[in-house]
Structure 1
């Protein structure tokens, strides 16, 4: 028990402690022919492509960032692209300072959920794609040769590129951290990327990240994916094109990656009655957009159920992700009640620390700690890069009385500063929303993710 000294909580990143490695690379096949392609216009007359193959599979392409819109279709999806100039001039889009999050040697050994039966492999190393619907529909069955992720036009990975790869992985991992799936940069064996039969229990998808959409796709696109291909019996990758994403700018590449993976999991675009992609609303730390829209220009991106104004897609993203792809939510890490509270780790006489994951929008994590009489300062923050979680923090006395609840309107973090008598206390951490989703706010629906 501490006497009169201030207490502070420093939560270490849960993700950082889980980040550790493995490695590989596969091949694949899948027959498909283009059926029809049509060019539609958005409200500002930007074209987007829709196509269906002979078997009725939908493809979509996410437009480059200097295009406004690209919708999806029955077989493939296309994410919008972003120009390099835009990446450099948009306020708030600069890369956070600091060196690489992990040793450079670990760049291709990163795992968000090692041991999970399902994987999403971020392939930055270059890849040759053969015998897939992409080859049949776009290259007359010729191989698709994707170069390695490159931002400096020099062969091999520079330290700057390795740092960007690590941060892209961190951002994508945050979008999927609530689910029982492993986001990895280490290549799995081919069988881990293919759902070979109804009896198969572990499979996943490859995300090929490199090159330009003009190399073979023939149009400006930030990424392309086949709807539902996560569950296919072939190594049909989804593609992300850094050359159309601010020259490989990490924020844009990660947003396009999560968006395209969403398509492979069965999700379609979040737009409006006049726009194929909703770019979000609000500003600053709480500026919001749906992942299946275009989250390039805001800080907070989340899975959505179409709760914003004029939404054209009411898909329940979380339900589809966790019910149609062989995996559900990550196992809850902490108890939800005072009775099942976790005793916070004391680092010195005045500080405790901890970290966790809000893995569902109904999840609550409860921590118990002792404090001496005096001022206390408890700060809980979401993951720094590409956060999905807006936090509400509550302080309870030993008898379960709510002493204070903090949910700042302009911040995703929550800080409890108050004066207490000596005794036991409980900190409750959960996800929350902001204001009116139909205006410039958002609900707690997609507020899941890491905190520290």
Structure 2
């Protein structure tokens, strides 16, 4: 265990706590939480708890007590459809941050399946006892702690004794995001959740330094906002377009140290390397573009762009990332494609909020000659390709733009990795080799039959 970290933010973003009454909870929990999981079989579980929690005992030097549910809905009540949709948006944003890693971001309480959810004290003990699990309570104003959230650092990978707090455990696997401070700012709630989970996975704050003097505990990349803007998840990414992992500077005042967020995340026991999205990473291993008729099947034509090295991941340079390759065919005519950054967990064909990838789409002919490149939209969230192509086979290559570099205060580089999906039309299905072989065998059989009839 390496101490704890509090997440602070500008008072200007705080909504008066009077709007969210402080409800007294027993061990009942608000119903109607959407059941969502990003990768259910992953070795790590990050449980986002929107339904309220009654913490037993002390957590570090504070006493959390009862935390009301997100939006302060009664512990005997149920989230309505609007609130459920907002929970989905928060979950999707957090899931996208961790999409390149073998972890499961979920709203499903793992203590239920384990038979340890009869009381919150038992749930608290269960979370502590489970290595590779973090329980993030989303709700309340945090009056007992201060800041926008709070977490221990570097505890998620380990299991802990439950002897403290009367057998409920010391809460090493429970952290908080004080969502009642800005309940309708879904970006705040999601970025803060990803931030606190990051602490549990050994990450410290990404800060700004002038020489060795710390000038900002929470770097916001000089308050970067608007299209194409970046800020660090482990800093303050509440207002930027992309909150991403960063290679930058952490540490105490007078003692700055370099922190590669992605490399650090991979050092947690059992995370392993990056996920494999199942798409070929070269011309020779290209995946057939999934089609429904003559149009792209976007539920299958998707992937996750990750760094090319797990041993030494780097943020800058297109070659620092693996590219995905699809093979397609056209009988000639207009071929249109749209490459969208982000996941589509919530509505297939529509990007979820919180894309972290910034990507490039290139089209090559069968001889691997560049035919054209998609036009990047001003929003930086998608690119489009439209061109009349001759009859033949082609390749679509999806790549990261190769990172983003900032020179504000201490120089830093930002990872441009994450999910994408493709849509488009004007294609011809590419026959599988086995299909072609079967067709040839059928023709040979037909030819032999004809010869016998002569």
User: Would you call these one fold, judging by a TM-score over 0.5?
Assistant: yes
Q: Which range moved further: 159-168 or 400-409?
A: 400-409
Aligned to 2:312: none
Aligned to 2:67: 146
Shift of 1:259: 0.6
Residue 373 and residue 151 in structure 1: after superposition, are their counterparts in 2 closer, same or farther (change >3 A)? farther
Deviations 1:356-401 (A, max 9, x none): 1113352211111111322322110112311110011111111111
The aligned runs of 1:26-425 (5 Å cut-off) are 57-66=2-11, 82-84=13-15, 107-131=33-57, 134-139=58-63, 144-150=65-71, 155-189=77-111, 193-194=127-128, 203-214=132-143, 216-217=144-145, 219=146, 221-234=147-160, 235-236=171-172, 237-244=174-181, 246-273=182-209, 274-280=215-221, 282-306=224-248, 314-328=258-272, 329-351=274-296, 353=298, 354-360=301-307, 362-383=321-342, 384=351, 385-406=353-374, 408=376, 410=378, 411-425=380-394
Superposition CA RMSD, Å: 3.0
Residue 342 and residue 107 in structure 1: after superposition, are their counterparts in 2 closer, same or farther (change >3 A)? farther
Q: Measure the CA separation in 2 of the matches of 1:405 and 1:230.
A: 43
Deviations 1:124-157 (A, max 9, x none): 11112235xx535113xxx621111116789532
Residue 435 and residue 185 in structure 1: after superposition, are their counterparts in 2 closer, same or farther (change >3 A)? closer
1:433 and 1:443 in contact (8 A); partners too: no
Q: Which range moved further: 183-192 or 114-123?
A: 183-192
Unaligned segments of structure 1, at least 5 residues: 1-55, 68-81, 86-104, 197-201
Residue 123 and residue 351 in structure 1: after superposition, are their counterparts in 2 closer, same or farther (change >3 A)? closer
Residue 418 and residue 151 in structure 1: after superposition, are their counterparts in 2 closer, same or farther (change >3 A)? farther
**Which structure: larger Rg?**
2
Shift of 1:212: 1.1
Shift of 1:432: 1.5
Shift of 1:319: 0.8
Residue 128 and residue 362 in structure 1: after superposition, are their counterparts in 2 closer, same or farther (change >3 A)? same
Shift of 1:307: 8.3
Deviations 1:253-296 (A, max 9, x none): 00000011111111111121211111135442311111111000
Shift of 1:444: 7.8
Q: Measure the CA separation in 2 of the matches of 1:159 and 1:152.
A: 13
- Greater relative CO, 1 or 2 (CA 8 Å, sep 6+): 1
| TM-score normalized with structure 2 length | 0.70
Shift of 1:346: 1.5
Q: Measure the CA separation in 2 of the matches of 1:204 and 1:152.
A: 26
Secondary structure (helix, strand or coil) at the match of 1:84 reads coil
Q: Which range moved further: 187-196 or 144-153?
A: 187-196
1:148 and 1:209 in contact (8 A); partners too: yes
Deviations 1:302-348 (A, max 9, x none): 1000189xx96520111110122421321232110111111111223
| TM-score normalized with structure 1 length | 0.70
1:434 and 1:443 in contact (8 A); partners too: no
Q: Measure the CA separation in 2 of the matches of 1:366 and 1:61.
A: 42
1:265 and 1:321 in contact (8 A); partners too: yes
